[in-house]
Chain A
Amino acid sequence: MTDALAERSKEYKYGFVTDVEMDKLPKGLNEGIVRAISARKKEPDFLLQFRLDAFKWWQEQEPPAWAHVEFPPIDFQDIHYYAAPKSMSDGPQSLDDVDPELLKTFDRLGVPLHERERLAGVAVDAVFDSVSVGTTHQDLLNEMGVIFCSFSEAAHKHPELIKRYLGTVVPPHDNFYAALNSAVFSDGSFVFVPKGVKCPIDLSTYFRINASNTGQFERTLIVCEEGASVSYVEGCTAPSRDENQLHAAIVELIALDDASIKYSTVQNWYGGDAEGRGGIYNFVVKRGRCEGRRSKISWTQVEAGSAITWKYPSVILKGDDSVGEFYSVALTNNKMQADTGTKMIHIGKNTKSTIISKGISCDQSRNSYRGLVRMTPGATGARNYSQCDSMLVGDQCEANTFPYLEIHNQSAIVEHEATTSRISGDQLFYLQSRGLDSEAAISLLVNGFCKEVFKTLPLEFSVEAVKLLEMKLEDSVG
């Protein structure tokens, strides 16, 4: 690690680089690269055709520019679209065969994969650049009939499920980045919970970008059959580098009758330094479909990293009486930019959605909430409640709210509340003058502001999320 990097990783403790031999495809994107990725993964032909179709459409599109963020044009020919540790090149192996260097990396990230040290109560799929390193707790999950594996493995072992559901929530032609991902997606997680099964432990994927000049394009697909339920958590980090790296993922969730999916994200990609150098471009499409009656999809996100965050975890409420939820805390500091929110598309009768968004902007960052609530003509009796709160730290940051309402059914009820507040030196001093040290004071303030969101996270992740925000805020509040 260079001195400069070491200096920076004091602030971002996940900024280290793992030195492993990589199998990288050359920079650039063309049909040959798309075919090569598919070939590396020995994919069934339908997946290759899926990729090629997406790639063809993508070539005809222009990158979208409507988000309230600024960045120089991305040179899509200057990116490696596939990078995998050489030791993983023979495809999925058992955890015992994994390169110790990779296991060490995940240990350092606080995600031990070894049988004896692994996290109790959470099954983890660890993704390193373009491939999955391994998935824990397989025995227990097998017993219950729950499938939780890397996307590549699923393509081999469960092609019929992939074929049935892939691209049904986020079609390849949905938008520019969705098409890009559909053409070059590398790895990610697949979850299938069969009818009536309540998944007994949390499932988690940990995404790690390590290689330089490399994009990460993972794909996650979660399907819950009738009456099934699952709680899924993703975490992510990347080394501190001066270049910007693209992360363009797709997450698709499908909930059948009475099924329930809870999807939580603690996002801590490297966000660049105080001058705005480096950091991840986090351009992600996340969407769930409440296909069945009384189904429920709940997104919780704690977005604390990335140079640019551009994503709207959404729910299509198709089944009657289905429920969509979006709970978000987005913190930006230094020169980070975030344009994030959700879309709630009400189609079924008596569908219900809740949006709670908390934006915290510090330093010279820019933080926008953008959300759409659409009540289609058939959404009789549908309801939405939205609450968007912004907190400003310092006087050089920016907070925006862009709510969009499209009401095409007179019986629908929509409520929207918004507030803006400020963490000030006065508040900190007030709390300190009552005996709280600055850490405890910030913790109290942040917890107070975000408590509606934090209480929806699985307990250990909630603790983690609070710590992460406190750490980021400490420098900014000073």
Chain B
Amino acid sequence: MLKIRNLRAKVVDGPDILKGIDLDVNAGEIHAVMGPNGSGKSTLSRVLAGHPDYEVTGGTVEFEINREPKDLLAMEAHERACAGVFLAFQYPTEIPGVSNSVFLRAAFNAICRAQGVPSVDAFDFRALLTEKLALIGMDDSYLERPVNLDFSGGEKKRNEILQMAVLAPRLAILDETDSGLDVDSLRIVAEGVKSLCTPHNATLMITHYQRMLEYITPDIVHVLMDGRIVRTGDHTLAKAVETRGYDWVRDEA
């Protein structure tokens, strides 16, 4: 579904942060990308989502749309979203004045339009929202609140997962979704994410710790250091990193 080859990228006007990433993600897979601070994890997620502050300096990213590989890097951020790429933000942005329900419906209908599916009316959409809210333990009162405004850290992360549940992406990239969550929120968020994983979609979890991996067992774990994937393995790699630290991987690499 996703094929990254020798991807190099930097912040506009800055030095390279990604220095040649190779990564293959197939439908039905859950990948974890781990790495110490400053290794380029968040850069990878933002580059894949099309953040304008980053510049790709080399390499390719192919994303399958209707079984055809497409050049993801040539697409605008909203086109990537409409093609099924979703980024759960590490620090979700506050949007004053725009209620969650208005925002979700606008996004949902934009994606429907782009995919040539009829959009839904307010009534049916409300029913969909109610169903998805239950998934992550949120009540209706969230819907009329302005997007992320005055949300606690945990509420913001849950709101990201609510959006993921509603927009049903084929590739979900979760950027440090486990950070800043207390134990209960972590469990709810992780279980929410887990319930959304199907054989038809893929998940890329970007994380510093393996806290979330205790709830969701990844099929493949990558360790990212200094802009390169230095090691790839199964879920036991995450455990090894947790107990032995990133220095161990660095020494081995």
Residues of chain A touching chain B, judged by Cβ–Cβ distance below 8 Å, are 419, 421, 424-427, 429-438, 440-441, 444-445, 447-449, 451
Contact = CB atoms under 8 A, between A and B. Distances in A.
A89 B75 CA distance: 59
B74 interface: no
Contacts, number: 81
Interface string B3-24: 0000000000000000000000
26 contacts: A419-B96, A424-B93, A425-B53, A429-B77, A429-B93, A430-B89, A430-B92, A430-B95, A431-B103, A431-B107, A432-B78, A433-B87, A434-B81, A435-B81, A435-B167, A436-B107, A436-B110, A437-B110, A440-B110, A444-B95, A444-B103, A447-B97, A448-B96, A448-B98, A448-B146, A449-B96
A451 B97 contact: yes
Interface of B: 49-53, 76-78, 80-82, 86-87, 89, 92-99, 102-103, 106-107, 110-111, 114, 146, 163, 167
A424 B93 CA distance: 9
B245 to A, nearest CB: 33
A425 to B, nearest CB: 7
Contacts of B51: 429
A437 B78 contact: yes
A432 B76 contact: yes
6 nearest CB pairs, A to B: A448-B97, A448-B98, A434-B107, A435-B81, A432-B77, A430-B93
B50 A425 contact: no
A430 B94 CA distance: 9
A434 B98 contact: no
B95 A427 contact: yes
Contact of B107 (A421, A435, A448, A451): A435
Contacts of A448: 95-99, 102, 146
Nearest to A424: B93
A433 B49 contact: yes
Contact of A429 (B52, B98, B102, B114): B52
A448 B144 CA distance: 12
Contact of A435 (B52, B98, B111): B111
Contacts of A440: 78, 106, 110
A444 B78 contact: no
A432 B81 contact: yes
A65 to B, nearest CB: 35
A105 B76 CA distance: 39
A435 B86 CA distance: 9
Given A433-B50, A435-B107, 7 more contacts: A432-B50, A432-B78, A432-B81, A433-B87, A434-B110, A435-B78, A451-B97
A441 B93 CA distance: 13
B95 A431 contact: yes
Contacts of A430: 89, 92-93, 95
A445 B111 contact: no
Given A435-B110, A435-B111, A436-B110, A445 B77 contact: no
Q: Which of A429, A432, A434, A436 has the most CB of B within 10 A?
A: A434
Interface centre among A425, A429, A433, A441 (most CB of B within 10 A): A433
Q: Which of A425, A435, A438, A444 has the most C-beta atoms of chain B within 10 angstroms of its own C-beta?
A: A435
A448 B95 CA distance: 9
Contacts of B89: 430, 433
Nearest to B98: A448
Point out which of A419, A427, A436 has the most chain B C-beta atoms below 10 A from its C-beta.
A436
Contacts of B107: 431, 434-436
A441 B102 CA distance: 12
Given A432-B78, A433-B49, A433-B50, A445 B93 contact: no
B225 to A, nearest CB: 26
B92 to A, nearest CB: 7
A29 to B, nearest CB: 46
A48 B120 CA distance: 64
A427 B94 CA distance: 7
A67 to B, nearest CB: 28
Contacts of A437: 76, 78, 110
Contact of B95 (A419, A425, A445): A445
Most buried by A among B80, B82, B98, B103: B98
B56 to A, nearest CB: 16
Contacts of B76: 432, 437
Contacts of B98: 444-445, 447-448
A421 B96 contact: yes
A436 B50 CA distance: 13
Contact of B78 (A425, A426, A436, A451): A436
A440 B113 CA distance: 13
B52 A444 contact: no
A447 to B, nearest CB: 8
A445 B77 CA distance: 17
A434 B49 contact: no
Nearest to B95: A427
Contact of A426 (B81, B93, B110): B93
Nearest to A436: B110
Contacts of B163: 434
Given A440-B110, A445-B98, A448-B98, A435 B92 contact: no
A117 B77 CA distance: 42
Contacts of A447: 97-98
Nearest to A438: B78
A314 B99 CA distance: 32
A88 to B, nearest CB: 45
Contacts of B82: 435
A335 to B, nearest CB: 26
Nearest to A421: B96
A445 B52 CA distance: 19
Nearest to A441: B78
A434 B95 contact: no
A430 B92 CA distance: 8
B161 to A, nearest CB: 13
A122 B184 CA distance: 59
Contacts of B111: 435
